[in-house]
Structures are given as structure tokens and as C-alpha cells.
Amino acid sequence: MYIKQIEIRELRMRLLQPFETSFGVTQERRIVLVKATAGGSTGYGEVTAGEGPYYSYETCETAWHVLRDFIIPRAIGKEIVRAADFSGLVRGIRGHNMAKAGLETALWDLEARLRTVALWKFLGGTRKRIDCGVSIGIQPSIDTLLKKIDAELQSGYRRIKIKIKPGLDVEVVRQVRAAFPKILLMVDANSSYTLADVRLFKEMEMYNVMMFEQPLSHEDMLDHAELQKEIDTPICLDESIHSAEDARKAIRIGACKIINIKLGRVGGYAEARAVHNVCRDNGIPVWCGGMLESGVGRLHNVALSSLENFSLPGDVSASARYWVEDIVHPPVEVSAEGQITQRDLTPGFYVKDDLIQRLTVRSEIFSV
């Protein structure tokens, strides 16, 4: 693929509802899209960085800078035989995985289109339908939370994830379990606890929690291994895993029994597959995490979830849970059974150019 043109574009999109985690509240999303052109075809990727450096150090602004000044100059005008070779081009640029993934995923989309094969098949996926869960942000009251959960279950979702933070944990989990005795329930702490809180996790595990997602520091693995020794409930790492090497080490020391894979966090498909394979080879199930993506990032998550070891429902849910109107057509939809069906190759583009144009606040084009 001779990379002729790359465009980056920032969109403002307002979430239907504010999303609260232990980091804070998000409603106005800044979405950075990457469009890559070669051989008369185009591929799209999304940078999944947040507005502020809370989930990770990356932000939309750092990603724009690193893409414009370091990543794109290494790709533009180059002959990239396979999207899988992209990591070689950016070797030496430390970190900034979300910025890298924005372009890397666009190249995979582009290569699949040039080969006229659906992306999920090109990736080697086998799951034509994927099981979906939802991630529900911290709510103003337990009553609101229970109503939200009820609505999501009515829509068909197969697993409920709630966010916890110090002060809003054991009692919330107790009440959710009392109201919904049988559901698959997991909690995500987004790194907000320490080993001093072991007792809290022991209390929460009495309510049959599927897994505790990232209970401790985003930079830690050792303390997670200590915590995992104290509890039977699997720990699932999110923030701590940036590569297949991280996954190997976490598994080796017993820091987790499940891993959440996010394309942005690990730098794209090549590394996501490598993490998936390390986990598969060690009997560790994985699931696909979400970052409040627009349809572009959402469709990438759907495709990634087709790989065999994505055996747990992910945070991949319908466009309509987030947006009045999504930028892809058709929007991502979830069946009454709580599943999303992979889409086969769409002729031409699948993005709504007019809507994207209207939502754009800035764009930059790089060509040879």
C-alpha cells in the first residue's frame, strides 16, 4: 500500500448522557478520526484518548501532536506492505499507543478494503456474532442505577458492569445483587483503590461478582498479584496492560485471571492480537473494552471481538446508547439477544461524510 494521503480530523460529539467514573464526568467528547488513503481506497481509525489525562496520560491534544509531528511523517509516502508492519515504522516512538492505534487501525481497515475482505475475517476472527455487555457510569443514586440496569437488561444485554469508587462500592454492589440475583455482574474501579482496601474486596466478593476490573494503580502489577492471592474472584486488568509483554508478566506473577483488551491502549490490532494470543496460550479469557467511541472505533471493537479468545461479553454496545446520530451507517445495533453481528464488506464508504463534516472543528491533511 503506497500511503498517499492521511487526514486527521477532530469532531465534537455530545454523549446522550454524562458518563461518570472515578476519574470524573464526561459528556462532550472530542473524537479524533484518522483517514488513510492508498490505491484509491480509504480506511478509517479512531484515536480513543480522552479529553483529559485521567484514564491514561494521552489526550486528544497529545495524540494530535504526536500523530502530526512524529507518526504521520513516518508513514506518508511510504510503501507499507501490510498493516501488520506498521509497528516497525513507529518503533522508537515511546508510548502514545492511542495515537499510534488511530493510524494503525485505519491501515487495517484500508488493507482489508484493498483485499476486498471483511475486516473481521481478515483479522482471522471466527465469531460472526459477539456477546455484548454494558458499562454503566456512576449514578446520582442507587435507585437510578437499578432503573438503568433494568433498562439495559430489557434491551438484551448479557452482562452488566458498574463503576465503583471509594465510598460507593460495597453497599452499591449489595443492593444491585439484591435487586438482580442472577445477572452477570462485574465492577470496574478504574485504579481507585490500594492494598489497604483488601477487606472491601472480600466483602464485595460475597455478592457473586464476575470480576474486579483494575482495582489498583494503573502502573501496578505486584499489588494486584497480592490482592489476587487474597480473593477468589478474578481480577481483570485494564489500565496496567499496554502490550503482550505486560500481559505475559501479569499472568506469570498471578496479577489477573482475565484481561480487557482495548485497541488504543495497546497501540492497535497487531499488539491486540499478540495480547489475545498470550492470554489464549495461558488459558486467560479476554474481552473487548470500550472508550466511549464513535461508530468508527466501535466497529473496530466489533471486528476485534471476533477473535476466538474473546470469550466473555465486552463493553461493546449499540450506537444508540451513546449518540443521537452516529457517524457510521448503519449504526451499530444490538439484537434482542444482546448480540452484534459482524458486518460484511460494505461497498464504498460506511461513514456519513456530511455529518462528519458538520461535527468537525479542525482537520489537517498530509499528502505526498
Residues classed as catalytic: 163, 262
Q: Which residues pair with 134 in a beta bridge?
A: 160
Instruction: Convert residues 290-319 into a mask of x (bound to ligand OSB by CB under 6 A) and - (unbound).
Output: xxx----------------------x-x--
Per rule CB under 6 A, is residue 58 in the interface with ligand OSB?
no
Cell numbers that stand for 291 in this block: 472508550
Q: In the set 7, 10, 220, 238, which binds Mg ion (CB under 5 A)?
A: 238
Per rule CB under 6 A, is residue 264 in the interface with ligand OSB?
no
Cell numbers that stand for 225 in this block: 498479584
How many residues sit close enough to ligand OSB to count as binding (CB under 6 A)? 11
- Identify the sign of the CA torsion 143, 216, 310, 30: positive
- Which partner from the list ligand OSB, Mg ion, none does 315 bind, CB cut-off 5 to 8 Å by kind? ligand OSB
* For ligand OSB, the closer CB: 10 or 315: 315
Q: Amino acid identity, residue 303?
A: A
Taking a C-beta distance cutoff of 8 angstroms, is the pair 250, 241 a contact? yes
When CB distances to ligand OSB are compared, the closest residue is 290
Q: Least distance to ligand OSB from the beta carbon of 315, Å?
A: 4
Distance CA 120, CA 127 (A): 9
| Interactions with Mg ion, residue window 169-198 (CB under 5 A) | 188
Per rule CB under 6 A, is residue 139 in the interface with ligand OSB?
no
Per rule CB under 6 A, is residue 238 in the interface with ligand OSB?
yes
Q: Least distance to ligand OSB from the beta carbon of 39, Å?
A: 32
Per rule CB under 5 A, is residue 131 in the interface with Mg ion?
no
For helices 295-304 and 97-114, angle between their N-to-C axes, nearest 10 degrees: 70
- Which partner from the list Mg ion, ligand OSB, none does 246 bind, CB cut-off 5 to 8 Å by kind? none
CA angle in degrees (0–180, nearest 5) for 169-172-174: 105
Per rule CB under 5 A, is residue 111 in the interface with Mg ion?
no
- Looking from the CA of 18 toward its CB, the CA atoms found within 13 Å total 9
Distance CA 163, CA 189 (A): 6
Enclosing H/E stretch for 175: helix 170-179
Q: Least distance to Mg ion from the beta carbon of 187, Å?
A: 10
- Which partner from the list Mg ion, ligand OSB, none does 291 bind, CB cut-off 5 to 8 Å by kind? ligand OSB
Which SS3 state, helix, strand or coil, does residue 240 take? coil
Which SS3 state, helix, strand or coil, does residue 79 take? strand
- Which partner from the list ligand OSB, Mg ion, none does 314 bind, CB cut-off 5 to 8 Å by kind? none
Q: In the set 45, 267, 289, 313, which binds ligand OSB (CB under 6 A)?
A: 289
Q: Amino acid identity, residue 92?
A: G
Cell numbers that stand for 280 in this block: 489464549
Taking a C-beta distance cutoff of 8 angstroms, is the pair 154, 367 a contact? no
Q: In the set 37, 190, 294, 306, which binds ligand OSB (CB under 6 A)?
A: 190
- Which partner from the list ligand OSB, Mg ion, none does 104 bind, CB cut-off 5 to 8 Å by kind? none
* For ligand OSB, the closer CB: 55 or 310: 55
Which residue is associated with the grid cell 513516518? 74
When CB distances to Mg ion are compared, the closest residue is 238
Beta strand segments in 208-337, E: 212-213, 235-237, 258-261, 286-288
Residues forming the site for Mg ion (CB under 5 A): 188, 213, 238
Residues of this chain that interact with ligand OSB (CB under 6 A) are 55, 135, 188, 190, 238, 289-292, 315, 317
